Structure 1
Amino acid sequence: MQKLSFLFISFLFYYISFAQNPTYFKGKYVFPVKPDSGKIVLTGNMGEIRPNHFHCGLDIADKEGEPIHSIYKGYISRIKASTFGYGNVIYVTHPETEHVSVYAHLSDFSPRIRRYIREKQYEQESFEVEIFPSVEELPVTTKEIIGYLGNTGGSYGPHLHFEIRTIADFVLNPQFFYDIQKDNIPPKLFQIAISPLSSESRIESRYQIYRATPLATKEGWSILKPISAYGLVGLEGITWDMAQGATSTYATTKARLRVDGKEIFSFHIDHFPMYELYGMNLHINYKLLKQTGSNFQRFYQVDGNRLGIYKGNGKILVEDGKSYNLELDLEDVNGNFKTLFLTLEGKKPSFINNSKLITSAILSQDTDENTLIIKARYLKGSEGNIDLILSDNKQESLPIAYIQGNEAVYLYDLRKGVPLKIKSANIEMPFRKQMIPSGTNYTYKDPFMEVYFPNGALADTSYLDFSAKSSHFYIGKVYEPLIWDAEVKYNHKKNAIIELKKAFIQSERSKYTFSDLNDSTFTIKTGYLNDLKITRDDTPPTIRLIRKTPQKLVFQIGDYGSGIANFKAYLNGKFILMEYENKNAMIWTDPLTTETLSGEFELKVFDKVGNVQTYKIAL
């Protein structure tokens, strides 16, 4: 037992001290592109905010076809040929260092690996394959050429996407392993925001996200005028980094926030687990992203954020009559940093006497985390108020929080109880949202749908809309990110008006096909909260011959409905491989085929609901 404990402690010490300590490996790993030249052009680095995720590695620009080298000895543990995502990608496991290196968007594999993957493609009769070779099948040596730089998958210019992960699938920052792209330019700060974090919070006397543009100074940036605030608030900002001679922008990888000289928060984007990749939507203010299109990084930690890159929670409790001096350091991977200086002045809001106002109409109701926001038109001179009818039939009257133009704004902390109805002097409306708890598996049910939220799908307790009509159903709201997929089981027998055998679900961001479709229900999984429309698709894909030579056929394929699912090609009844590039919708016969194509050629293209188009030609 003592020996086992000693071995475990030794392994743990190794893992903590070395496997996740990049400086230990400096000089051990060669660079994957031009390892002997030192001429490196980075077009992206780890931690950049991309749509719905953090960028997990380095983007290294070079000409298409440039050889790609394994950074260290090991074996290929995963390999995929695809036209989406990482495109053609190789994963090399390095047992000695307990790391995995990733090489994505390859134009091609090295001849030895290409032969291996071709064999699997013909076995499966599919261009798209994913293989997990054994330790003995594809060993590699340090600096061995394993592929060639390209533009396959979700790439829009020739480059290598390169990652280093632990065997536990934590992404590590590759720049810590190499002395590359050194510079002395600190990050830029373009705009800041102060956000309210409770129903009692105010910024400049309102419950609002207050935005300001900082003034550049020698030390960094400054907000010259103090910002009045009250209650719990958080600081956010738009920031990125630059480098000498580079046209690309990069991630600001470190931040430190001090209040009156005391550090209350920091983040360092140097590692995070791949399974929390979409937690990036909690690192930024997702609501501001949807409203403005800009990524405001939070310099405080919200509930449910499990990225593990933070120290402290960063939330600032502002009290009446007190001043708070904030200093925010923004730092890049090379240690260059500048500081933002700003002051918050505590100012308690004064509530308005309802007896002099009458609410003539409730204009809107919305939620922001646990705060219910009610806006109503008002008239002066008579009595009136807003009342909430709670689930236990108790009634709570709300004071006016503040007046904005010709609207009265009311705020309520939903943690006190979820209302059933909202009443004014002359109108009553139901509270339309359903409370969905976090931290547990939860299923919402109504006569038309069941929506299953697994533990961790929502960062915090959320208040969502659910509705169903004949051709679409709604799960919202749009400002609420899903960290993991929700599963929707929909009763189409009660509410659908179209035949579902040739139908799919269309949303603003994605298309979904049904699983478990039967006479009464279907199921889909969705990563977004939004309007989901049931859409009929009776139109088969299109096929157009673009070019024909004795050794090669090139086609353009497309589908304007559910999308391309698969394709198969045959020459004289025998399967022949076609390669596919979805960005230009081109497919072409196996480029390794040197023999003249002769006989009856047939191409079949299938969409995601089963429509098929066939093209035949005699060669």
Structure 2
Amino acid sequence: MPSILLNAGWRSIQSFIGLFVLFSDVWGQRNLYTFPIKPNDTTFSQIILSGNVGEIRPNHLHCGLDIVGEDYEPIHSIYKGYVSRIKVSSYGYGNVVYITHPEIDHVSVYAHLIDFSPKIRKYVRKKQYEQESFEVELFPNPEELAIEAKETIGYMGNTGNSFGTHLHFEIRDIADFVLNPQDFFAVQKHDKLPPRLLKVAVSPLSPESRVNSKFQTQIFTPLPSAKGWKIPQKIKCYGLVGIEGLTWDIVSGSKSSFATSKVRLRVEGKEIFAFHITNFPIYEIYALNLHINYALLLQTGSSFQRFYQTDGNRLGIYKGNGKIFVEDGKNYAVEVDLEDTNGNSRTLELTLQGEKPDFNETDELLATGILSYDIVENTLIVRGKYLMKPNTKGSIELILQDGKSLKIPLAYIEKGKEAIFLYDLRKGLPKLIRSQNIELPFNKQLIFPKKNTFFENELMKVFFPNGALADTAYLDFSAKTTHFYIGKINEPLVWDVEVTYQHQKNNVSNVLDLKKMFIRHSRGREFLENLNDSTFAIRSGYLTGDFKFVQDTKPPTIRLLRKSPEKLVFQITDDASGISHFKAYLNGKFLLMEYEHKNATLWTETHYTEPLTGEFELRVWDKVGNMQVWKIIL
């Protein structure tokens, strides 16, 4: 016993030492690092943020600070190091510089730059001319672009997927884990406003679970209270449930919204869950779709953060599971603390009242001709509109794929009209749903999340790599001449899936020119990778239902906007597959052009100093290879 206590005590001392070292490092780096904007303003009185780490953005978590400023405001390195990566693009981070700080094993990131510093620009221009491309991604050697602390490395702009002049600034560790810059800089410490909570949701998490007697997420509006917010009425629940919240932070004097970065969940005073949105791997930012209730986002357009951990989420920001098991006849006092980066917090209070569902099952429900089903995670939900037949027990019949028959009892009546039946698909996959005189085929295919899984028929093969799905999925598959279908699901993809399509078997090649074809779906476009004469493949990050074949034989459009001896400005557009790339030549030699997709504008290199005289030629390609040529004698 004494040795156990000694070991436990030593582990506590080790944990304390680890925390001391961690916070010592952060405080030490606060003394080393200077802010990338106005580095001599140590009070941060002139610094305005429009975004911070952990904000809920479309399909990803925000990984840095958005710092407001003006075009061409100088951007400075926060510490000495070397440029380890540069990317020039009209998309994503636009013009971006990555600086590695080897003394500290950190990397700082500076995105959406309008221009680079002269020495970085010289390096980039040389590579662009060598590659004859505006878009480049470069990885300089450590000795090529050494950087000093406070050195100007670029200028603030609005390039890439940016919608206003600002600097997107990140700090990562050497393993590409996102760190919160607000842990290193005391910016916004004047803020005294706590996060806001607009809505609260309670979701059933197993087929036996209910919220207000339904297997359905229920949404509530919290009221102000002394601690923060409360839901005055008791919420009737049974089984395993999860709490979710629509929340964000506000800052004194700012019109922007920010992340509610810390959450703690307590049941009967005991903490069972917490998260802190910091120190997560950059390659897991799309796990946002698991951090929020993705199905509820599709239904409502709102991002409810889950105050419990769902399957397949690898963000690593969580402590505890957070799922609450509610027993019949018991009440559960629940408290949720919401906190911002500056420590401002408020608490939500609510009570879950355990109540087991109780139905009068003495009536059988006869189908009127309407029967449908849906799937939520592993739960099959069968719905039907029915007439009453007295003195018998209500149920539907499932015929499983192994031939067995199961009777599924009525779960509850919804809105007095619709009968709801629930079944756990982990008990066996059905092939037919039967109710009296109605038979409904069950055509879903089971796809597993944690192993390489294939679906294949005579027309197409779909490959789901290990980890592509966060949870088990049940999908429809079909293929026709003009489109194919991969059943829409309420859970997101984590990694891309690959679809290989036998186009000759379905006569696609007789209808469409494969070389001029792409795939369109509700979230965007995918492009073909020809494997051989009879098959092609696409990679998709979405399961959206219909994937339609679209043929694009029309080249991009080029329009001259302005002409002078110093500069040419064009508008380039393509309404189908989109702009791929472009090249310009002056008197037969490559001439760099710069591009901004947000306004479809293309112009001759800003720092080109020679007069534009002679024969000029511009070539613009779309993403299926159509090319437009524009020529002029200057």
Q: Pick the TM interval, shorter chain.
A: over 0.9
Please, which of 37, 48, 51 is the counterpart of residue 55 of structure 2?
Answer: 48
Contact 1:567 1:605 in 2 (8 A): yes
2:332 alignment counterpart:
324
Deviations 1:397-417 (A, max 9, x none): 010101113211100001111
Deviations 1:408-449 (A, max 9, x none): 110000111111111111011211211111111111112221
2:570 alignment counterpart:
555
2:462 matches 1:447: no
- C-alpha distance in 2, partners of 1:392/1:356? 27
Deviations 1:384-407 (A, max 9, x none): 631011122110001010111321
2:398 alignment counterpart:
388
1:410 alignment counterpart:
421
Deviations 1:532-590 (A, max 9, x none): 11101011000000000011100000001101111010111111000000100001011
Contact 1:351 1:399 in 2 (8 A): no
Structure 1: gaps spanning 5 or more residues: 1-9
1:588 alignment counterpart:
603
- C-alpha distance in 2, partners of 1:99/1:19? 15
Please, which of 151, 163, 177 is the counterpart of residue 158 of structure 2?
Answer: 151
Say which SS state the counterpart of residue 287 (structure 1) adopts: helix
Q: How does 1:262-281 map to 2 (within 5 A)?
A: 262-281=270-289
Please, which of 230, 234, 246 is the counterpart of residue 226 of structure 1?
Answer: 234
- C-alpha distance in 2, partners of 1:107/1:582? 14
Deviations 1:123-153 (A, max 9, x none): 0000000000001100000000000000000
Please, which of 67, 88, 103 is the counterpart of residue 81 of structure 1?
Answer: 88
2:258 matches 1:250: yes
Classify 1:523/1:468 alpha carbon distance in 2 versus 1 (closer, same or farther; 3 Å): same
Say which SS state the counterpart of residue 124 (structure 2) adopts: helix
Q: How does 1:154-233 map to 2 (within 5 A)?
A: 154-182=161-189, 183-233=191-241
Deviations 1:33-72 (A, max 9, x none): 1111222100000000001000000000000100000000
Q: How does 1:488-503 map to 2 (within 5 A)?
A: 488-495=499-506, 496=508, 497-503=511-517
Query: Which moved further from structure 2: 478-487 or 211-220?
Result: 478-487
Q: How does 1:438-517 map to 2 (within 5 A)?
A: 438-495=449-506, 496=508, 497-517=511-531
Deviation at residue 101 of structure 1 after TM alignment: 0.3
Count of paired positions: 608
The residue type paired with residue 448 of structure 1 is: L
Classify 1:563/1:354 alpha carbon distance in 2 versus 1 (closer, same or farther; 3 Å): farther
Query: Which moved further from structure 2: 81-90 or 512-521?
Result: 512-521
- C-alpha distance in 2, partners of 1:243/1:614? 51
- C-alpha distance in 2, partners of 1:121/1:45? 33
- C-alpha distance in 1, partners of 2:23/2:57? 27
Say which SS state the counterpart of residue 301 (structure 1) adopts: coil
1:6 alignment counterpart:
none
1:299 alignment counterpart:
307
1:398 alignment counterpart:
408
Classify 1:484/1:20 alpha carbon distance in 2 versus 1 (closer, same or farther; 3 Å): farther
Please, which of 80, 84, 105 is the counterpart of residue 112 of structure 2?
Answer: 105
2:9 alignment counterpart:
none
Deviation at residue 498 of structure 1 after TM alignment: 2.1
Say which SS state the counterpart of residue 486 (structure 2) adopts: strand
Classify 1:360/1:281 alpha carbon distance in 2 versus 1 (closer, same or farther; 3 Å): same
Deviation at residue 591 of structure 1 after TM alignment: 1.4
- C-alpha distance in 2, partners of 1:21/1:421? 61
Contact 1:606 1:612 in 2 (8 A): yes
Query: Which moved further from structure 2: 407-416 or 16-25?
Result: 16-25
2:373 alignment counterpart:
365
Contact 1:202 1:230 in 2 (8 A): yes
Deviations 1:468-517 (A, max 9, x none): 22211111324220011111111112222322121101111121111134
Query: Which moved further from structure 2: 250-259 or 459-468?
Result: 459-468
2:539 alignment counterpart:
525
Please, which of 33, 36, 43 is the counterpart of residue 32 of structure 1?
Answer: 36
The residue type paired with residue 271 of structure 1 is: N
Structure 2: gaps spanning 5 or more residues: 1-13
Contact 2:363 2:388 in 1 (8 A): no
- C-alpha distance in 1, partners of 2:266/2:18? 34
2:612 alignment counterpart:
597
Deviation at residue 18 of structure 1 after TM alignment: 4.7
Query: Which moved further from structure 2: 352-361 or 569-578?
Result: 352-361
Classify 1:314/1:450 alpha carbon distance in 2 versus 1 (closer, same or farther; 3 Å): same
TM-score (norm 1): 0.96
- C-alpha distance in 2, partners of 1:492/1:415? 35
The residue type paired with residue 22 of structure 1 is: V
Query: Which moved further from structure 2: 308-317 or 381-390?
Result: 381-390
Contact 2:470 2:491 in 1 (8 A): no
1:65 alignment counterpart:
72
2:620 matches 1:610: no
Say which SS state the counterpart of residue 419 (structure 2) adopts: strand
The residue type paired with residue 106 of structure 2 is: H
Please, which of 132, 143, 164 is the counterpart of residue 125 of structure 1?
Answer: 132
The residue type paired with residue 136 of structure 2 is: V
Query: Which moved further from structure 2: 41-50 or 355-364?
Result: 355-364
1:433 alignment counterpart:
444
Please, which of 310, 322, 346 is the counterpart of residue 318 of structure 2?
Answer: 310
Classify 1:19/1:214 alpha carbon distance in 2 versus 1 (closer, same or farther; 3 Å): closer
Q: Percent identity?
A: 61
- C-alpha distance in 2, partners of 1:448/1:237? 44
The residue type paired with residue 33 of structure 1 is: I
Deviations 1:197-225 (A, max 9, x none): 00001111111110000001221000000
Say which SS state the counterpart of residue 504 (structure 2) adopts: helix
- C-alpha distance in 1, partners of 2:379/2:28? 48
Contact 1:49 1:55 in 2 (8 A): yes
- C-alpha distance in 1, partners of 2:193/2:48? 16
Contact 1:354 1:400 in 2 (8 A): no
Classify 1:20/1:189 alpha carbon distance in 2 versus 1 (closer, same or farther; 3 Å): farther
Contact 1:20 1:166 in 2 (8 A): no
Please, which of 110, 121, 124 is the counterpart of residue 114 of structure 1?
Answer: 121
TM-score (norm 2): 0.94
Deviations 1:365-388 (A, max 9, x none): 110001000001111126563101
Query: Which moved further from structure 2: 359-368 or 251-260?
Result: 359-368
Please, which of 288, 292, 295 is the counterpart of residue 284 of structure 1?
Answer: 292
2:430 matches 1:419: yes
